[in-house]
Amino acid sequence: MMQDPNPLPWGAQDRFQAHFIVQQYPDEELSPGKESESWRLRRVARTKLKTTGHFGSKKVVAVTWEGGKLAEDLNTDSSLNEMIAGQSVNDATIFVDPTDNGIRIYGKWKNSHDFGITKELFDIYDNIAGYIKKIN
């Protein structure tokens, strides 16, 4: 039997993500309104990668952060950014996403075979979490 050339895109897919969460919440005295928005904007960050090569041979050569105050702080830590540059392009793509139920650090989606955590990647996330905890 031939495979459907246009499979329907619904249903659970073999793509997983682990969110590493720092349990920090918008200050209730400050919300709602602009104060809560600035709480979020100070903590949002994502990596911007400088790479060489293409496809399978693509490698990360440098990492910078873009976003709010947290991104500024992370940009000053060259040893952390060197650690991130040592990861694959997928693992070096890191998002810091401040939600209402915690600040979430996560990377790209992975299939169930590749899904997991290495010591180096956990140390990177743990370092980022340390910076999140220092922000006022």
Partner 1 sequence: MEDSEPETIVLKNWPEKFSDMLSMIGVNSTPNKTGEGDVEKGDYYSRCFSQTTRMITNKGSLKVSGTNIDSVQIIQKG
Whether residue 26 is preceded by a cis peptide bond, meaning omega within 30 degrees of 0, is no
Pairing of strands 45-52, 95-99: antiparallel
Residue 98 touching partner 1 (CB under 8 A): yes
Residue 33 touching partner 1 (CB under 8 A): no
Rounded to the nearest whole angstrom, what is the least distance from the CB of residue 68 to partner 1 in the complex?
A: 10
Q: Could you write out the three-class secondary structure of 36-72?
A: HHHHHHHHCEEEEEEEECCHHHCEEEEEEEEECHHHH
Rounded to the nearest whole angstrom, what is the least distance from the CB of residue 131 to partner 1 in the complex?
A: 9
Residue 97 touching partner 1 (CB under 8 A): yes
Residues 92 and 107: their CA atoms lie apart, in Å, by: 8
Considering CB under 8 A, how many residues would be counted as binding partner 1?
38
> Which residues have CB under 8 Å from 135's CB, separation 6+?
42, 43, 69, 70, 73
* Residue from 44, 41, 49 nearest 95 by CA: 44
Residue 65 touching partner 1 (CB under 8 A): no
Looking at the Cβ atoms of 15 and 58, the one nearer to partner 1 is: 15
Rounded to the nearest whole angstrom, what is the least distance from the CB of residue 7 to partner 1 in the complex?
A: 12
Span 7-26, contacts to partner 1 by CB under 8 A = 10-13, 15-23
**Among the listed residues 38, 40, 85, 86, the single contact to partner 1 using CB under 8 A:** 40
Binding site for partner 1 (CB under 8 A): 10-13, 15-23, 40, 44, 46, 95, 97-102, 104-105, 109, 116-119, 122, 125-127, 129-130, 132-133
